Amino acid sequence: MKKLRERAAELLSQGVVSLVLGYEEGTKRPRPLFCRNSVNAEKLIFDSRCIHNLAVYITKKELVGKERFAVTAPISTLRSIMQLFVENQLNEEKLLVLTVDLNGELREFTTFDEIAAYVAQFELKRGEREQELLSKIEGMTREERWKFWMEEMSHCFKCYACRSACPLCYCSKCVVEVNRPQWINPWPAPLANMEWHINRAMHMVGRCTACGACGDACPIGIPIDLITRKMMEDMAPEFGYIPGQPAKQGNALSTWKLDDREQFIR
């Protein structure tokens, strides 16, 4: 952590970057810190409590393309950054990625390939919470699943925090804001909620890296992160990619293989 602060101060004072995006202590848990001078760099922290996915900020038009900046990224954020590279959203020249590895060493990355090589060491596994809930859902009948989600969705009041928290929801106009035609009604209602979440899952197929930010952001605790996570797990073997290892081979949904499964097609 000391090394991180020193390096951040150095980067800022030397003018290598104009901003270091990191974490500082918050009231209950660490919160994002937009650090623009070396004095502030003293506030930077980096530990296992830093789960807020800062990748969500790096596609904002206020940042992208304007200045060179650094972002401190735990492994889940690194995955998001990789996916953003795959989707042509980042500029390698304007981005510096910092992380602290398992030995407490500071690591710096500037390219997709460097991040990929580092991330490849980490397997993406289910945590206890995910394991418990997903095995519960997997054990349900279809009708039970429908009831379960309808019950969960009935609490959703369409605050779109899930969308705001997700680093991959960077569209300038979301489909719910498209009104010719109005595919999905933007207000909360059972159908509109269901459609929104199915739509979100479909938009995330082959893209989601299971950072869990959407689930964390949900103010009423709907486990929506499990939907995209489960899709990632199920589709990876189907389409031949490694979960949590975005690769520059084109999006899973917009590519295809001759022998894709089709026994459900009559």
Partner 1 sequence: MSSNTDFEPKIIAFVCNWCTYAGADLTGTSRLKYATNVKIVRFPCTGRIDFLLLLKSFAQGADGVIVSGCHPNDCHYTSGNFHARRRWIAFRSVLDLMGVDIRRIQYSWVSAAEGSKWADLVNNTVADIRALGPYAEYQKVADYLEKEGYNEEA
Partner 2 sequence: MSKIGVFICHCGENISATVDVERVAREIGGMEGVAHAIDYKYMCSDPGQTFIKEAVKKYGLDGVVVGACSPRMHEPTFRRACAEAGLNPYLCEMANLREHCSWVHEKSEETTEKAIDLVKMLVEKVKKNKPLDSIKVPVTKKALVIGGGIAGIQASLDIANTGHKVILVERDPSIGGHMSQLSETFPTLDCSQCILTPRMVEVAQHPNIKLYTYAELESLEGFIGNFKAKIRLKAKSVNYSTCTGCGACIQKCPVKKIPSEFNAGLGTRTAIYVPFPQAVPNKPVIDRVNCNYYKRGACKICEKTCQVGSIEWDKEDEIITEEVGAVVLATGFDVKGTDFFPEYGYGQYKDVLTGLQFERLASASGPTFGEIRRPSDGAVPKKIVFIACAGSRDPAKGIPYCSKICCMYTAKHAMLYQHKVHDGESTVFYMDIRAGGKNYEEFVRRAIEEDTVNYVRGRVARVYEKNGKLIVKGVDTLLGGEQVEIEADMVVLATAGVANCGSEQLAQKLHVSYDPYHFFAEAHPKLKPVETNTAGIYLAGACQAPKDIPETVGMASGAAVKVAALFSNDELVREPVVAVVNRLAPPLYSTCVGCFMCETACPYNAIEHEEIKGRDGSLIRNSARVNQGLCQGCGTCVAFCRSKSIDIQGYTNEQVYAEVMSLLND
Positions in the binding site for partner 2 (CB under 8 A): 65, 87-89, 170-175, 178, 180-181, 183, 203, 250-251, 253-255
Please compute, for residue 185, the number of CA atoms within 13 A of its CA located in the half-sphere on the CB side. Answer: 9
Give 236: exposed, middle or buried? Use CB within 10 Å, 0-12, 13-18, 19+: middle
Binding interface with partner 1 (CB under 8 A): 137, 140, 142-150, 175, 182-185, 187, 189-192, 194-195, 197-199, 201-202, 205-206, 227, 230-231, 234-235, 238-239, 252-258, 260-262, 264-266
For residue 265, the minimal CB distance to partner 1 (Å) is 4
Beta partners for 73?
none
Local structure of 158: helix, strand or coil: coil
Nearer to partner 1, 60 or 257 (CB): 257
Cis peptide before 246 (omega within 30 of 0): no
For residue 123, the minimal CB distance to partner 1 (Å) is 22
261 binds, among partner 2, partner 1, none (CB under 5 to 8 A by kind): partner 1
60 binds, among partner 2, partner 1, none (CB under 5 to 8 A by kind): none
Please compute, for residue 53, the number of CA atoms within 13 A of its CA located in the half-sphere on the CB side. Answer: 30
Which secondary-structure segment (H or E) carries 22?
strand 19-24
171 binds, among partner 1, partner 2, none (CB under 5 to 8 A by kind): partner 2
